[in-house]
């Protein structure tokens, strides 16, 4: 069902002729625009991930120990949020350029899972962990709950970035002879290139 | 004449050809993607540190603290980021040496790296330690860093197939100005920017056919110049008006812009090694 939406997305804006490209195909075949989108997506990590790392380091007591947590949050997080908006806008556009390729990609699926983990962690921190912040705002080393949030944040974002980079590699591309589990988690059987089980290729 | 390393150091060709067969290149090659992740993570870390430090020098961001305190907060992690990005860069470079040897983007990247190190360690950090006051040594380092950065941008801008990557630097400069300007300047700045982007889109999609590269190329270069003028004008206005809590003068603020953008230039040139 989700795949039907992705297929519909990939065909959107297709002209009447057999070889008229859809909007998605037009975006994927631009000479430089796709590269600029991808480059912006990666470079925005300096703003987004770089600042979120430093906020997490403050919560762990690894940096800015003399600056209240509230000051670091109020001054740095607006930059992080702006960076995140850039990541999302460029990321959605990049997905739109090759939606079916990413839909059947194991690393893309893992990346989305850890994006959800990171998001839940932000909500828990914001609405629960941070509620008694006044009590430890100036503490050089915040309490264990805040540190746990920072550890989850750091781990989740590092995994999101790692899986994001791995999307570009074709180690588990559908249509190649793959172990059963890889075909299963990528829904390769539904993909245009199909699912080929490792060991079946001899027949 | 091109500006790839092979044109500048032709005698190294035989040595470069051996790098991916010998340690550490051969050792890294099967794990290229994993080391690449390390390169990107340390890049993000050093980028975040540089952005917070230099925005503070411009008078934005962590303005509750003096610049020296922001320097204290980021110094260790900035060092980790710089050492990490160079170490992982040398390793993935050794496993991919012939590609880099023929890449003009790599020349731009190395000039950018030299400029970034000079501007970060010779200007931003010592100036922040002195609460924004720039010593004669910092002025000298600033001059050297900006000259190296200009050389990097020149190679990036004239390089075939890689010059669209210069848009990353223009876009980043536009964002910094958006963050730090206030009031009427910000309104005029945003309105002009929206106008420029709209004009660029209309010219690229409507007026000139999207596949007429012969006409699009000079026009887009002219637009890049127009964007640069728009941003530099806004920076000039911002430099002569005092920012929130900015102790330094126009030199300190101008160097802080340069110190962020030079890392963007270096990273963008790195990304365009793969695209050209």
Mean pLDDT confidence for B257-271: 98
Above 70 in pLDDT, residue B114? Answer: yes
Closest by alpha carbon to A161, among A105, A118, A100?
A118
pLDDT-above-70 percentage for chain B: 98
Q: Determine contact, residues B104/B160, Cβ cutoff 8 Å.
A: yes
Which H or E run includes B267?
helix B250-275
Residues of B in contact with A32 (CB under 8 A): 164
User: What is the pLDDT tens value at each position of chain A, 203 positions in all?
Assistant: 899 999 999 999 998 888 899 999 999 998 899 999 999 999 999 999 999 999 999 999 999 999 999 999 999 999 999 999 999 999 999 999 999 999 999 999 999 999 999 999 999 999 999 999 999 999 999 999 999 999 999 999 999 999 999 999 999 999 999 999 999 999 999 999 999 999 875 55
Spell out the residues 6+ positions from residue A13 whose beta carbon is closer than 8 angstroms to its own. Answer: A22, A23, A24, A26
Q: Determine contact, residues B169/B225, Cβ cutoff 8 Å.
A: no
d(CA A158, CA B37): 9
**A193 interfaces chain B, CB cutoff of 8 Å:** no
pTM, whole model, 2 decimals?
A: 0.95
| pLDDT at position A202 | 54
Alpha-carbon distance B250 to nearest alpha carbon in chain A (angstroms) = 23
d(CA B200, CA B190): 15
| pLDDT at position A201 | 59
| pLDDT at position B206 | 87
**Whose structure tokens read 């989700």?**
A2
Q: Determine contact, residues A28/A98, Cβ cutoff 8 Å.
A: yes
| pLDDT at position A200 | 72
**A161 interfaces chain B, CB cutoff of 8 Å:** yes
DSSP assignments along B18-33, one per residue? HGGGSTTHHHHGGGHH
| pLDDT at position A12 | 93
CB pairs under 8 A between A and B: 117
Helix ranges (H only) for chain A are 2-11, 23-28, 33-60, 69-97, 99-103, 106-127, 133-136, 144-166, 180-185
Q: Determine contact, residues A36/B169, Cβ cutoff 8 Å.
A: no
Alpha-carbon distance A68 to nearest alpha carbon in chain B (angstroms) = 10
Residue of A nearest to B166 (CA): A36
Q: Determine contact, residues B35/B92, Cβ cutoff 8 Å.
A: yes
Residue of A nearest to B163 (CA): A32
Q: Is the peptide bond before A76 cis (omega within 30 degrees of 0)?
A: no
**A10 interfaces chain B, CB cutoff of 8 Å:** no
The 10s digit of each residue's pLDDT in B191-230 is 999 999 999 999 988 898 877 888 988 999 999 999 999 9
| pLDDT at position B167 | 95
Q: Determine contact, residues A76/B62, Cβ cutoff 8 Å.
A: yes
The 10s digit of each residue's pLDDT in B144-203 is 999 999 999 999 999 989 999 999 999 999 999 999 988 888 999 999 999 999 999 999
DSSP assignments along B208-252, one per residue? S-TT-HHHHHHHHHHHHHHHHHHHHHHHHHHHHSPPTT--S-HHH
Average pLDDT value for chain A: 95
Which H or E run includes B74?
helix B67-94
d(CA A45, CA A108): 17
Q: Determine contact, residues A35/B272, Cβ cutoff 8 Å.
A: yes
């Amino acid at each position: 069902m989700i795949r039907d939406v992705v297929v519909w997305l990939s065909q959107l804006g297709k002209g009447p002729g057999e070889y008229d490209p859809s909007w998605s195909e037009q975006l994927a075949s631009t000479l430089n625009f796709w590269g600029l989108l991808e480059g912006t997506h990666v470079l925005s990590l300096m703003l987004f991930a770089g600042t979120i790392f430093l906020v997490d380091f403050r919560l762990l007591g690894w940096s800015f120990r003399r600056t209240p947590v509230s000051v670091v949050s109020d001054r740095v997080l607006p930059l992080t949020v702006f960076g995140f908006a850039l990541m999302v806008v460029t990321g959605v556009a990049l997905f739109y350029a090759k939606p079916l390729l990413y839909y059947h990609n194991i690393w893309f699926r893992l990346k989305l899972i850890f994006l959800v983990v990171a998001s839940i962690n932000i909500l828990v921190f914001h609405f629960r962990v941070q509620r008694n912040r006044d009590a430890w705002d100036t503490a050089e080393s915040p309490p264990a709950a805040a540190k746990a949030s920072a550890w989850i944040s750091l781990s989740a974002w590092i995994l999101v970035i790692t899986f994001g980079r791995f999307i570009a590699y074709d180690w588990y591309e559908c249509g190649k002879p793959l172990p059963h589990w890889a075909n299963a988690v990528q829904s390769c059987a539904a993909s245009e290139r199909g699912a080929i089980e490792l060991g079946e290729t001899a027949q | 004449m091109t500006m790839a390393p092979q044109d500048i150091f032709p005698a190294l060709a035989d040595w470069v050809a051996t790098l991916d067969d010998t340690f550490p290149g051969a050792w890294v090659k099967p794990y290229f993607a994993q080391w690449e992740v390390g390169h990107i993570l340390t890049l993000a870390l050093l980028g975040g540190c540089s952005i917070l430090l230099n925005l503070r020098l411009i008078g934005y961001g962590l303005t509750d603290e003096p610049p020296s305190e922001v320097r204290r907060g980021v110094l260790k992690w900035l060092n980790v980021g710089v050492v990490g990005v160079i170490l992982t860069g040398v390793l993935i470079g050794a496993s991919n040496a012939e590609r880099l040897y023929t890449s003009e983007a790599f020349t731009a990247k190395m000039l950018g790296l030299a400029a970034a190190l000079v501007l970060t360690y010779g200007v931003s950090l010592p100036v922040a330690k002195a609460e924004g006051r720039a010593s004669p040594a910092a002025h000298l380092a600033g001059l050297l860093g900006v000259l190296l950065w200009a050389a990097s941008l020149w190679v990036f801008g004239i390089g075939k197939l890689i010059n669209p990557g210069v848009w990353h630097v223009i876009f980043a400069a536009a964002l910094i100005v958006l963050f730090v300007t206030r009031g009427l300047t910000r309104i005029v700045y945003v309105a002009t920017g929206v106008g420029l982007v709209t004009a660029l889109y209309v010219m690229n999609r409507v007026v000139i056919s999207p596949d007429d590269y012969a006409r699009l190329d000079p026009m887009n270069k002219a637009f890049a110049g127009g964007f640069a003028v728009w941003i530099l004008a806004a920076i000039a206005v911002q430099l002569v008006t005092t920012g929130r809590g900015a102790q330094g003068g126009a030199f300190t603020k101008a160097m802080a812009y340069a110190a962020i953008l030079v890392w963007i230039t270096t990273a963008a040139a790195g990304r365009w090694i793969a695209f050209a």
